[in-house]
Amino acid sequence: MNAIEVKGLHKSYGAVQAVRGIDLSIATGEIFALLGPNGAGKTTTVEILEGFRSRDSGDVSVLGFDPHDEGAGAREWRNRIGIVLQSTSDSGDLSVGETIEHFSGYYSNPRNVEEVINSVGLDEKAGSLIRKLSGGQRRRLDVALGIIGNPELLFLDEPTTGFDPEARRSFWALIQKLRSDGTTILLTTHYLDEAEALADRVGVINEGKIIEISTPIELGGRSTAQALVSWREGSHTKSLATDNPTAVVNKLTTQFNGEIPELTVTRPSLEDIYLKMIGVTHE
Partner 1 sequence: MNKIPSTISLGIRRGGLEIRQFSRQRESVVFTLLFPVILLVIFGSVFTDTIAPNVTFSQYFVAGMIASGLVNTGFQALAITIPLERDFGALKRLRGTPMPASSYFIGKAILVSVSMVIQILMLLGFGTIFFGVDMPTDINKWITFTWLTLLGSACSTALGIAFSIVPKSGRGASAVVSPIVIILQFFSGVFLIYTQLPSWMQQFAALFPLKWLTQGMRSVFLPDSFATQEVAKSWENGKTFLILLVWLVVGIFFSVRKFKWDRD
State in angstroms the smallest separation of the CB of 107 from partner 1: 6
**Minimum CB separation from partner 1 for residue 98, in Å?**
7
H or E segment to which residue 89 belongs:
none
Give the SS3 label for residue 130. Answer: helix
Amino acid, single-letter form, for residue 101:
E
Q: Which is nearer to partner 1, 82 or 208 (CB)?
A: 82
Question: For residues 4 and 184, what is the distance between their CA atoms, to the nearest angstrom?
Answer: 9
| Nearer to partner 1 (CB atom), residue 44 or residue 119 | 44
Give 181 or 262: the residue with its C-beta nearer to partner 1: 181
Nearer to partner 1, 145 or 175 (CB): 145
Beta carbon nearer to partner 1, 108 or 244: 108
Given a contact cutoff of 8 angstroms between Cβ atoms, the answer to whether 183 and 214 are in contact is no
DSSP of 141-209: HHHHHHHTT--SEEEEESTTTT--HHHHHHHHHHHHHHHHTT-EEEEE-S-HHHHHHH-SEEEEEETTE
Tell me which residue of 108, 111, 149, 144 sits closest to 126, measured CA to CA.
144
Tell me the closest approach of the beta carbon of residue 87 to partner 1, in angstroms: 6
Report yes or no: 222 and 267 within 8 Å, Cβ to Cβ: yes
Q: Tell me the closest approach of the beta carbon of residue 89 to partner 1, in angstroms.
A: 5
CA distance 107 to 76: 9
* Cβ neighbours of residue 98 closer than 8 Å, sequence gap 6 or more: none
Q: Which residues contribute to the site for partner 1 (CB under 8 A)?
A: 50-52, 75-76, 78-79, 81, 83, 85, 87-91, 93-94, 98, 102-103, 105-109, 129, 145, 149
What is the nearest approach in angstroms of partner 1 to the Cβ of residue 200?
24
How many alpha carbons lie under 13 Å from residue 64 in its C-beta half-sphere? 6
Rank residues 51 and 208 by Cβ distance to partner 1 and give the closer one. Answer: 51
Q: How far apart are CB 190 and partner 1 at their closest, in Å?
A: 19
Q: How far is the CB of 52 from partner 1 (least distance, A)?
A: 6
Comparison of 108 and 264: residue with beta carbon closer to partner 1: 108
* Residue 110, Ramachandran bin (φ over 0: left; ψ between -120 and 50: alpha; else beta): beta
